[in-house]
Amino acid sequence: MCALVAGCGGSEAPDPARADVQRVLDRRAEAVLARDESAYRGTEAPVADSGGLATGLAEFANLRGLPLASWSYRLTGFHRSGDRATAEAELRYRVRGYDRAPVTAARALTLTRDDGSWYVASDEPAREAAEQLWEQGAVRAVRGRHSLVLGVGRTEAELRTYAEAADRAVPAVSGAWGDDWAERVVVLVPESLEEMAGLLGAPASGYRGIAAVTTGETGGSGRTPADRIVVNPDAYAVLGDFGGQVVLTHEATHVATRAHTTAATPLWLSEGYADWVGYRSAGRTPAQIAPELQREVREGRVPDALPDDEDFGFGRDANGLAMAYEGGWLACRMIADRWGEERLNAFYRAVGGHERRAGAVEDALRDVLGTTPARFTGQWREYLRDQLG
């Protein structure tokens, strides 16, 4: 009986408008890559105010400074009501000469149909998704030997100082970690802390006092996603040359180690290692680099355990956050001092190569360093007393 009922057991026929909209987005992408304003305009419908972010032709103009290798949209959701529609799409793009894999961004679109053709009325970040730099203003690009610095509201001279620091950071990272990474970085310099938070899709309060962060997916996929070092210009400006250099070297280390940083890697190791590289050639003493932890040690409060992931939360008090970073740094420094830098790198890779967090550090301690978690923690506590007491 079922075979005689039309559509029984089947599904609704796909709305042909979805394919039409995908073709519009394909044309839009081609126009961006070709810098063809007329073709881009041909995909646009009149738009209302977007609440501060650039849209439409203003966004197209802001993109001119961005060297693109690819740009594409993939519809992931489509909802139509007559001549109006909303859609979800994944924007994927690569910066020419820097990205091995594309950046992905979730977009929310509204579309209208006029005389049988669909047009984009708005193209904005999806709910809880991050903004893109060109939505904040015209992008200016400055190239270094190993870096590309992209800024909004910044002079070329300002961006050049970031490029010079990044160009020093990259070989410093390769000297410690090795050359099995792209050996180039992309740095984003927005106008303010608020714009930095927009690029990260998070509240500004969580990044106050944080000079820079690195984006990028963590996972053992075997390929490195397109990382961005995102600067908080307000905090970076007060660091001075030395502090700024340490920050960019630290963040460049996250880019270099990304393929080996997985869900199995604890933050004391990933952050501690990045700080170890950042300070490796600084010529500073442990007391100069770890003042908060030194105060605790000298007052007889040596930590019982390595920092937990929660200790690295940006919402923590400044002293507690500083001690977490200092503790992770000293753990990595101890490995380099006692077992050698090659063993430190092997330890990092071994932990990240584990299938899950449970047992990752334990197995790497046994296989690479020939020790146990209890012995390692005891050695670290003694190292704190020796270096900071």
SS3 254: helix
Main-chain dihedrals φ then ψ at residue 134, nearest 5 degrees: -70, -15
Could you state, in order of their start, the residue ranges of all structural domains in the chain?
16-135, 138-256, 262-389
CATH architecture entry for 262-389: Orthogonal Bundle (1.10)
Q: What does the block give as tokens for 61?
A: 């103009």
pLDDT digits (tens, 9 = 90+) for 173-231: 999 999 999 999 999 999 999 999 999 999 998 888 899 999 874 443 445 568 999 99
- Cα–Cα distance between 339 and 50 in angstroms, integer? 56
Is the pLDDT confidence value at 10 over 60?
no
CA-based end-to-end distance of the chain: 86
The pLDDT of residue 11: 53
Enclosing H/E stretch for 347? helix 341-352
pLDDT digits (tens, 9 = 90+) for 73-112: 999 999 999 999 999 999 999 999 999 889 999 999 999 9
Least reliable range by pLDDT among 159-173, 190-204, 310-324, 375-389: 310-324
SS3 89: strand
Is the pLDDT confidence value at 15 over 50?
yes
Return the CATH fold of 16-135.
Answer: Nuclear Transport Factor 2; Chain: A, (3.10.450)
The strand order across the sheet containing 117-125 reads: 68-81, 84-95, 103-114, 117-125
Is the pLDDT confidence value at 307 over 90?
yes
- Cα–Cα distance between 143 and 157 in angstroms, integer? 12
- Cα–Cα distance between 302 and 286 in angstroms, integer? 15
Is the pLDDT confidence value at 1 over 90?
no
- Cα–Cα distance between 212 and 42 in angstroms, integer? 39
Return the CATH fold of 138-256.
Answer: Zincin-like (3.30.2010)
Q: Name the one residue in this structure whose structure tokens are 């753990």.
A: 331
Q: CA angle, corner 201, sides to 198 and 207, nearest 5?
A: 75
Task: Report the pLDDT averaged over residues 1-13.
Answer: 45
Enclosing H/E stretch for 123? strand 117-125
pTM value surpassing 0.85: yes
Cross-strand bridge partners of residue 79: 86
Task: Report the pLDDT averaged over residues 296-323.
Answer: 91
Contacts of 257 (CB under 8 A, 6+ apart): 177, 181, 270, 273, 274, 348, 352
SS3 354: coil
Question: What band does 12 get if pLDDT is binned at 50, 70 and 90?
Answer: low
CA dihedral angle for residue 216, residue 219, residue 220, residue 221, rounded to 10 degrees: -70
Q: What does the block give as tokens for 186?
A: 């992309």
pLDDT digits (tens, 9 = 90+) for 256-299: 999 999 999 999 999 999 999 999 999 999 999 999 999 999 99
- Cα–Cα distance between 263 and 100 in angstroms, integer? 22
Cβ–Cβ under 8 Å, residues 273 and 348: yes
In b/e form, how buried is each residue of 184-197, taking b as 16+ CB within 10 angstroms? bbbbbbbeebebbb
Least reliable range by pLDDT among 88-102, 281-295, 312-326, 350-364: 312-326
Percent of the chain predicted with pLDDT > 90? 84
Least reliable range by pLDDT among 1-15, 39-53, 238-252: 1-15
Q: Name the one residue in this structure whose structure tokens are 């053709």.
A: 117
Enclosing H/E stretch for 186? strand 185-189
The pLDDT of residue 64: 92
In b/e form, how buried is each residue of 339-348, taking b as 16+ CB within 10 angstroms? bebebbbbbb
Q: CA angle, corner 336, sides to 268 and 308, nearest 5?
A: 10
Percent of the chain predicted with pLDDT > 70? 92
- Cα–Cα distance between 127 and 152 in angstroms, integer? 23
pLDDT digits (tens, 9 = 90+) for 112-163: 999 999 999 999 999 999 999 999 999 999 999 999 999 999 999 999 999 9
Task: Report the pLDDT averaged over residues 342-346.
Answer: 98
SS3 108: strand
- Cα–Cα distance between 273 and 347 in angstroms, integer? 11
